[in-house]
Amino acid sequence: MADSTNRKIEVSEIVPGSSGVAAAFDALNAALDSNRVFAPIPGQSRHYSQHQIGAIRAAVNPHAPCQSQSVAILTTSGSTGNPRGVELSAAQLGAMNEFVNSGAAVGARLDARPRWVCALPVTSIAGVNVLSRSIAAGTVPVALESVAGGSIFNPDEFAHVVARLTNEPIFVSLVPTQLRRLLSSQAGALALKQCAAILIGGGPTPTNDFLQAQDLGLNITYTYGMTESAGGCFFSGVSGPGTDFTLDPDNSQITINGPSIAQGYRPTETTAFTPFNGSFTTDDYAHVNSLGKLEILGRLDDIVLINGVNVSRTAICKIIENNSGVHGCFVLPNLTALVVAEATEFENVSADIRTQIALQLGSIAIPTFRVVSQLPTLPNGKLDQVAITNLYG
């Protein structure tokens, strides 16, 4: 039977911007030093409706007991449905801290402790990682005002914040859309070059962006993980300390084992606490590439069956996004590709994209294209698949 207690769960409503990051930093510090549990939820903003906040609070379920070792309750993004509450111990939350803070995650060794720039919401695991790693480093994170929708993410703001930090290694975690925006700006690209370590997570990074980052000589690593694994526990396809994985022989589904795997899912009105016991089976599938690295191919529910042939919507998106002028993509289950681009620019490359898809995936995978001005995203930068399906499905 799970060991649960009635310790006080501190639900913290986090406002957008730097003041919210500071409040969350203090609250997590207090939880690590006391017998309380840190449970951040977003305050109402242009990004979060009362309905969404209600769903997140319900997932936290603050009146139910928690596990005796838990120090944090975080919620999954809910990008494909309702969020789930996840309990994490201090050891799980900090399992990758020293590996990342030392610079080893990007293949470097540093003599000084890093200073983190917080560019991601601290109500989700990626932002909380920044808080936890700052605490472990004995430093205070510097937050962008654009965090969690305080304003629009701006390369000039990022460059200004980086320019203020001197004589200390600068670390930052970003999502692929933020990386792309910074790379497209001279000020943003120069600021990235000042960073000692750049972690990119939350989704696949287009190959063109990867090559541009490589050409600039950026100290970058692409992380893979989720709330259930306390964030990234694979770094450019290599597992972090104490971590390993298995792939299901039938469908290549990934199961992660290691010290960062969370305690389990919070109880709900209809379900009991669900323990993970150091192992978590994801919704993703992958293979080990020729370099011996884990390569994420997509989500299992991305696969659609067309005339008896399995087609990966993620693979289609990767091909589309690797073309100039394309700023984003999502493929619906009916194989309609929603492409963020200027209509005239996309028209110039659409024939070439069809050819690339046919060569790499077969002509059966060629989608119907629909150019859109933007795709809904969650504050953590992930595409809001529920909202996209409601709009275009």
Q: What share of the chain is helix, strand, coil (3-state, %, to 5)?
A: 35, 30, 40
CA distance 148 to 381: 9
CA distance 228 to 263: 8
- For residue 79, the model assigns a pLDDT of 61
Q: Check: CB of residue 217 under 8 Å from CB of residue 70.
A: no
Closest CA to 20 of 59, 55, 47: 47
- For residue 166, the model assigns a pLDDT of 86
Distance of CA 19 to the CA centre of its chain: 22
Q: Check: CB of residue 24 under 8 Å from CB of residue 53.
A: no
Closest CA to 262 of 111, 125, 127: 125
Closest CA to 254 of 282, 221, 212: 282
Residue-by-residue pLDDT tens, the chain, 393 positions: 457 776 778 899 999 999 999 999 999 999 999 878 999 999 866 667 788 888 899 999 999 999 999 999 999 976 666 899 999 999 999 999 999 999 999 998 888 999 999 999 999 999 999 999 999 999 999 999 999 877 889 999 999 999 999 889 999 999 998 999 999 999 999 999 999 999 999 888 888 888 899 999 999 999 999 999 999 999 999 999 999 999 999 999 999 999 999 999 999 988 999 999 999 999 999 999 999 999 999 889 888 988 788 899 989 998 998 887 888 899 999 999 999 999 888 988 899 999 999 999 999 999 999 999 999 887 777 788 888 988 887
- To the nearest 10 degrees (0 to 180), the angle between helices 207-215 and 176-183 is 50
Burial class (CB in 10 A: 0-12, 13-18, 19+), 227: buried
- For residue 1, the model assigns a pLDDT of 41
Would strands 264-265 and 274-275 be described as parallel, antiparallel, or unpaired? antiparallel
Tell me the whole-structure pTM to 2 decimals: 0.89
H or E element that contains 274: strand 274-275
CA distance 333 to 311: 10
CA distance 2 to 87: 13
Tell me the DSSP string of 19-62: HHHHHHHHHHHHHHHSS-EEEEEEPS-SS--HHHHHHHHHHH-T
Q: Which domains does the chain have, with CATH numbers?
A: 4-296 (3.40.50.12780), 307-392 (3.30.300.30)
Contacts of 344 (CB under 8 A, 6+ apart): none
- For residue 288, the model assigns a pLDDT of 96
CA distance 218 to 233: 20
- For residue 8, the model assigns a pLDDT of 78
